[in-house]
Amino acid sequence: MKIDEKSVAGKELILQEQTQLLVIGAGPAGLSAAIEGAGRGLSVVLIDENPVPYKTMGDEVPLHYGQGMSGVARNRNAMIEAFVTSEPLIQVAFDAGVDVRLGTACWGLYANGPGVHWLPGTVAGLADEERGWLIGADYVIVAAGRRDMGLGFPGWEKPGVIGATAAITLATRFGALNPRRVVILGTSAEALTAAAALRDAGIEIAAIVEQAAEPVGPDHLVTELHAAGCEFLTHHVVREALGRASVEGVLIAAVDKTGRAVGEERRIDCEGVVLAVGTTPVVDLLAALGCHITFQPERGGYAPKVDADQRSSVHNIFAVGDCAGIWPAKSLDRSIAAGEGLRAVGAILGEDFGSAEVSVPDRPAYDLSAYRMAWVRASVIGARGDFHVCQCEEVTAREILELRPPRYLGWQTDRRNDRSLLSLLDEAPPNPDQVKRLTRAGMGPCQGRRCREQIAALLSLQATAPLADIPLAGYRTPVRPLPLAIASQLRESADQAQHWELWFGIPSQWQPPCEVPEFYTVAADEATIVVDDERGGHD
Amino acid sequence: MTEIKGASVVIVGGGVTGLSTAWWLAQSGVDVLVVEKGIVGWEASGRNGGGCGHVTSPLYPEMLRLWPVMDELLGYPTEFSANRIQVAVTEEQLAVQKSSAAAVERRGYRCEILDSKQRRKLIPLVGDNVAGAYFYHFGGHANPHRTVQGYAWGMQDHGGRLMQHCAVTGFRTEGERVVGVETERGLLGCDQLVIAAGPHTGRLSATLGQEVPMQSARAEMIVTEPLPVMVYGGVDGNGLHGRQTLRGNLAFGGGPHEWLDLPQRGVFANPSTPLMGHIGRRLIEMMPKAAHARIIRSWAGVIENTPDGRPVIDRLSTFPNVVVATMSSVGFGLSPSSGRAIRDVVVDGTCSFADISSFRLARFARLESDWRELQGWVALAMEEAA
């Protein structure tokens, strides 16, 4: 049979290295998996993107650092040392023979499946500050952790407005959090745990602000923080973050139960605002690979479907730790995440644990979908002025809901509301990717990390549908912004380079109509092929 | 099944070809309904490089006339920008481009070679290392997403209707006429039917006794973060096609495609691959000043091709009230005129502004039944993971 030389057929994808088990993320779950795997004879590569370079943190990748890093974060050696010292199991992993690579990010996972057949197996794209390369892996355990839902209000772009996960990492692992006095938004178990951790790290908690009538997290955490002198302000939101170069204070106001601000605004002095209204699994690699991801409120939002062995819908890809689901017990007890890592390794080695120690989420204590929507309604829709929900592309909530073309087009029309979001609603809930294409919201270099959950909530409020009905906005590789200079280091086979074409390379496609024969057959075409150079551009 | 009002013309496929056709029909006062299995422009129509090219197409002159006025005609912005630049990184590429330029000049289009000073001014991201560049005083590029939605909204403004999330399951026929389209949401009566369903056009036409031969393949693109906007964004070269968007992102693609079978059900998965890096290398060879720019997404789209890579716009001989349409992998740029041509065929029986006899379906009447194998256009066997 003939081979189409312009296609991928026969082209080798060159991998730099190969391992039996690749573990992505050196938290409790990833470390326990890596140590167990190495101890049982597997070749194991364990990567973690931490410590994240200062410049990357400044780009708000992979977390919402909110420019809250102190100068310590510039000192690479000190950061590496702090990272290793703050997690003793990293040394244990080294000693167990795990190939540990810190400061190394995974920006893509690839595997054959529907739509791609030419890969040599499961492939991961890795990069550090200078190099980019591909590694093949028989099995991948993803332990990519958690991140925080962004929540906008006027001034939320100011340095000092930080996601809770970034704040905790900077404060507790690196001693590199700039703000010393913060206001915390949210009262879930994860928010209260964050507040306690920050307090233990010497950060003063100016107030804990909650739009709902009561804290939604466990009573004992509320009681402990109360006892420690933290002020809880329920039925309140931040109306504005104040400050010139960075946050110097916030204006807060009481809200009624529909989220509307009532009463006087009050100033609280602080250097930071910690966003803790929604902790969510990091599913970017899994989603981009094509693993089945569904909205699971008991797991903190969109999370991969995993079986009792933590196996995803792709048979050699496992998800463990926070990226497989976040719930209060797991947030409070790291042995649950560690146990997931052990189970995954056991499954790879063909063991049957039966039903013992299966990791099962807590029953949700509150309606996560309604809670997140209420925050967005009170803080974003109820805001007293326009601000950018998508900070990269500078798109406001109103522009999202009205599907306004981006401002750089200068598009003027007298019928601006004719084609709002409602015009897209056609028997199905609005799709954030369609909204992204039209407004650019979520299209920027932070890859939607700060706005995607807010946009989903805006769409669900507009469509009066729960968050679960809003499709997950797509993730595409690279799931970390990857400099062209680094991506271009991926090696290319000589065969592929030789036959590289700008488009399909079908000569007859470019022939003028007068040269089209009455009948086309493959045999006749091969007999008459002339290479035509008359190309005038392409789709 | 519920009763839904059909239309005089039902169009299967909410891609750029079907929607442009629908917009032209609605403008002419024709009662038209587009049925789309997912969301408008969700497949190749929304995943392409946005180029407005293909000089040898009979639809090209009309396309050139229409693009500059599309924003006004549609009432929505397309981000169309005129002109293209062909960059040659090597002397070898320059020689090929020289003969290409000569060929398009013979067709009456204007090209000129740019000197290094002009290159620095017009396309400053392109390096001084390149061998040369040709400025084409024609063609251009536009934003596929905005254009597709513009056709859909423009059509609706003229009274046309759109049903999304509604897959076609079959056709109802009476004698030599298709009288209805069977869908997940009921039967849609029609006087005429247009099948412009991209890769699914072959499968759907086969159920009506006359298959449009085609095979689908996946191709890939990358996009960077925004960079300072160059005077001209429509740049091809070094094995890549693409554009700098008006926002400043570099969106480029090229390289080997992968032939695929139609999915048993549902839609194509559209995965991208590490080919991203190889596209990136070619991009910075051409634009070394963009080497620091970060890739923020890569994507893939599935595109159909007929055996000779040329379009089919024709009536089925088995059911003459059915028009089948595929642009064979070069559909976005030509869409202003392809929709008009299909509208003409539907309403008047023949295209009023161009000779599109080269798009006739009958040219495949003697096609070998195993043409895919003969051309090597077949899906690879999948290597299973561990």
Q: Which of B277, B305, B333 is a domain's end point?
A: B305
Cα separation, A170 vs A167, whole angstroms: 5
CB contact under 8 A, A506 and B308: yes
Residue A538 has pLDDT above 50, yes or no: no
Q: In the prediction, which pLDDT does B52 show?
A: 94
Contact by Cβ (8 Å): A325, A19: no
Do A138 and A28 share a structural domain? yes
Do A296 and A328 share a structural domain? yes
CB contact under 8 A, A537 and B136: yes
CA angle B311, B219, B329 (to 5 degrees): 10
Tokens 């061998």 map to which residue? B131
Do A159 and A271 share a structural domain? yes
Q: Which of B53 and B326 is assigned the larger pLDDT? A: B326
Residue A27 has pLDDT above 50, yes or no: yes
Identify the band that residue A421 occupies on the pLDDT scale cut at 50, 70 and 90. Answer: confident
> Based on C-alpha coordinates, what's the Rg of chain B?
21
CATH number at residue A110: 3.50.50.60
Q: In the prediction, which pLDDT does A459 show?
A: 95
Task: For B257-286, give the DSSP string.
Answer: BEEEPPPSSS-------THHHHHHHHHHHH
Q: Note which residues in 158-177 of chain B have CB less than 8 A from chain A.
A: 162-166
A459: left (phi over 0), alpha (psi -120 to 50) or beta: alpha
Residue A498: strand, helix, or coil: helix
Predicted ipTM of the assembly:
0.95
Tell me the count of A-B CB pairs closer than 8 A.
Answer: 338
Q: In this structure, what are the phi and psi dihedrals at residue A515, rounded to the nearest 5 degrees?
A: -95, 5
Residue A214 has pLDDT above 50, yes or no: yes
Query: Could you read off the pLDDT of B265-320 as tens digits, one per residue?
Result: 777 888 999 999 999 999 999 999 999 999 999 999 999 999 999 999 999 999 99
- Rounded to the nearest integer, the mean pLDDT of chain B is 95
Q: Which of B255, B288, B305 is a domain's end point?
A: B305
Residues of A in contact with B164 (CB under 8 A): 426-428
CB contact under 8 A, A437 and B357: no
The bridge status of strand B235-237 relative to strand B51-52 is: unpaired
Residues of A in contact with B254 (CB under 8 A): 500-503
- Rounded to the nearest integer, the mean pLDDT of chain A is 94
Sheet holding A236-242, edge to edge: A236-242, A249-255, A261-269
What percent of chain A is predicted at pLDDT more than 90? 89
One-letter amino acid for residue A62 of the chain: P
CA A324 to chain centroid, in Å, comes to 13
Whether A2 is covered by a domain: the verdict is no
| Of the listed ranges A18-32, A175-189, A349-363, A405-419, the one predicted with least confidence | A405-419
Rounded average pLDDT over B47-58: 94
Do A133 and A159 share a structural domain? no
Identify which of B214, B195, B196, B178 has the alpha carbon closest to the alpha carbon of residue B318: B178
Whether A487 is covered by a domain: the verdict is no
Whether A474 is covered by a domain: the verdict is no
Cα separation, A169 vs B122, whole angstroms: 46
**Does B371 contact chain A (CB < 8 Å)?**
yes
Q: In the prediction, which pLDDT does B268 show?
A: 80
CATH number at residue B351: 3.50.50.60
Q: Note which residues in 462-501 of chain A have CB less than 8 A from chain B.
A: 476-478, 481-485, 487-490, 492, 496-497, 499-501
One-letter amino acid for residue A276 of the chain: A
Whether B27 is covered by a domain: the verdict is yes
Residue A420 has pLDDT above 80, yes or no: no
Q: In the prediction, which pLDDT does B5 show?
A: 86
Domain span at residue B35 reads 7-65+144-213+308-366
Distance from CA of A174 to the nearest CA of B (A): 27
Do B287 and B248 share a structural domain? yes
Identify which of A392, A539, A439 has the alpha carbon closest to the alpha carbon of residue B77: A439
Distance from CA of A507 to the nearest CA of B (A): 8
Q: In this structure, what are the phi and psi dihedrals at residue B255, rounded to the nearest 5 degrees?
A: 95, -175
Q: In chain B, where does DSSP find H-type helix?
A: 16-27, 60-66, 70-74, 91-106, 116-122, 144-157, 201-206, 275-286, 335-348, 371-375
Q: In the prediction, which pLDDT does B264 show?
A: 74
Whether A492 is covered by a domain: the verdict is no
Do A137 and A21 share a structural domain? yes
Whether B380 is covered by a domain: the verdict is no
Do B297 and B154 share a structural domain? no
Chosen from B272, B292, B351 to mutate, greatest number of chain A CBs within 10 A: B272
The DSSP symbol for B330 reads -
Do B336 and B301 share a structural domain? no
Q: Of B49, B104, B296, which has the smallest distance from its Cβ to A538's Cβ?
A: B49
Q: In the prediction, which pLDDT does A416 show?
A: 46
Q: Note which residues in 219-248 of chain A have CB less than 8 A from chain B.
A: none
Do B355 and B287 share a structural domain? no
Domain span at residue A217 reads 150-277+366-379
Whether B385 is covered by a domain: the verdict is no
Cα separation, B138 vs B215, whole angstroms: 31
Whether B383 is covered by a domain: the verdict is no
Do B294 and B158 share a structural domain? no
Residue B93 has pLDDT above 50, yes or no: yes
Do A177 and A94 share a structural domain? no
Do A375 and A342 share a structural domain? no
Q: In the prediction, which pLDDT does A529 show?
A: 63
Do B267 and B296 share a structural domain? yes
Do B154 and B46 share a structural domain? yes
Q: Which of A379, A400, A422 is a domain's end point?
A: A379
Whether A3 is covered by a domain: the verdict is no
Do A251 and A161 share a structural domain? yes
One-letter amino acid for residue A144 of the chain: A
Residue A293 has pLDDT above 80, yes or no: yes
Taking the model in full, what pTM does it have?
0.96
Q: In the prediction, which pLDDT does A427 show?
A: 65
Q: In the prediction, which pLDDT does B383 show?
A: 60
CB contact under 8 A, A534 and B54: no
Whether B372 is covered by a domain: the verdict is no
Tokens 């839904």 map to which residue? B4
Q: In the prediction, which pLDDT does A530 show?
A: 53
Q: In the prediction, which pLDDT does A426 show?
A: 66
Do A262 and A154 share a structural domain? yes
Cα separation, B155 vs B147, whole angstroms: 12
Give the DSSP H or E segment for A200: helix A189-200
Q: In this structure, what are the phi and psi dihedrals at residue A276, rounded to the nearest 5 degrees?
A: -135, 40
Residue A159 has pLDDT above 90, yes or no: yes
Cα separation, A90 vs A100, whole angstroms: 8
Do B273 and B127 share a structural domain? yes
Whether B165 is covered by a domain: the verdict is yes
**Does A356 contact chain B (CB < 8 Å)?**
no
Whether B378 is covered by a domain: the verdict is no
Rounded average pLDDT over A300-320: 97
Residue B2 has pLDDT above 70, yes or no: no
Whether A499 is covered by a domain: the verdict is no
Do B251 and B172 share a structural domain? no
Identify which of A458, A424, A456, A537 has the alpha carbon closest to the alpha carbon of residue B148: A424
Tokens of A117: 């057949």
Do A227 and A98 share a structural domain? no
Whether A527 is covered by a domain: the verdict is yes
Do B185 and B149 share a structural domain? yes
Residue A453 has pLDDT above 60, yes or no: yes
Cis geometry, peptide bond prior to residue B68 (ω within 30 degrees of 0): no
Q: In the prediction, which pLDDT does B386 show?
A: 42
Do A237 and A162 share a structural domain? yes
Q: What is the 3-state secondary structure (H, E, C) of B171-202?
A: EEEECCEEEEEEECCEEEEEEEEEECCHHHHH
Residue A21 has pLDDT above 90, yes or no: yes
Cα separation, A321 vs A337, whole angstroms: 4
Do B164 and B15 share a structural domain? yes
Do B286 and B223 share a structural domain? yes
Identify the band that residue A101 occupies on the pLDDT scale cut at 50, 70 and 90. Answer: very high
Q: In the prediction, which pLDDT does B382 show?
A: 74
Burial class (CB in 10 A: 0-12, 13-18, 19+), B264: exposed
Cα separation, A483 vs B225, whole angstroms: 10
Do A373 and A239 share a structural domain? yes
Cα separation, A298 vs A362, whole angstroms: 7
What percent of chain A is predicted at pLDDT more than 70? 96
Q: Report how many domains make up chain B.
A: 2
Buried b (16+ CB within 10 A) or exposed e, B232-258: bbbbbbbbbbbbbbbbbbbbbbbbbbb
Residue A479: strand, helix, or coil: coil
CB contact under 8 A, B333 and A501: no
Q: In this structure, what are the phi and psi dihedrals at residue A54, rounded to the nearest 5 degrees?
A: -55, -45
Q: In the prediction, which pLDDT does A410 show?
A: 85
Cα separation, A529 vs B84, whole angstroms: 28
Q: Report how many domains make up chain A.
A: 4
Contact by Cβ (8 Å): A181, A230: no
Distance from CA of B331 to the nearest CA of A (A): 7
Whether B374 is covered by a domain: the verdict is no
One-letter amino acid for residue B301 of the chain: G
Whether A440 is covered by a domain: the verdict is yes
Identify the band that residue A355 occupies on the pLDDT scale cut at 50, 70 and 90. Answer: low
CATH number at residue B123: 3.30.9.10
Identify the band that residue A535 occupies on the pLDDT scale cut at 50, 70 and 90. Answer: very low
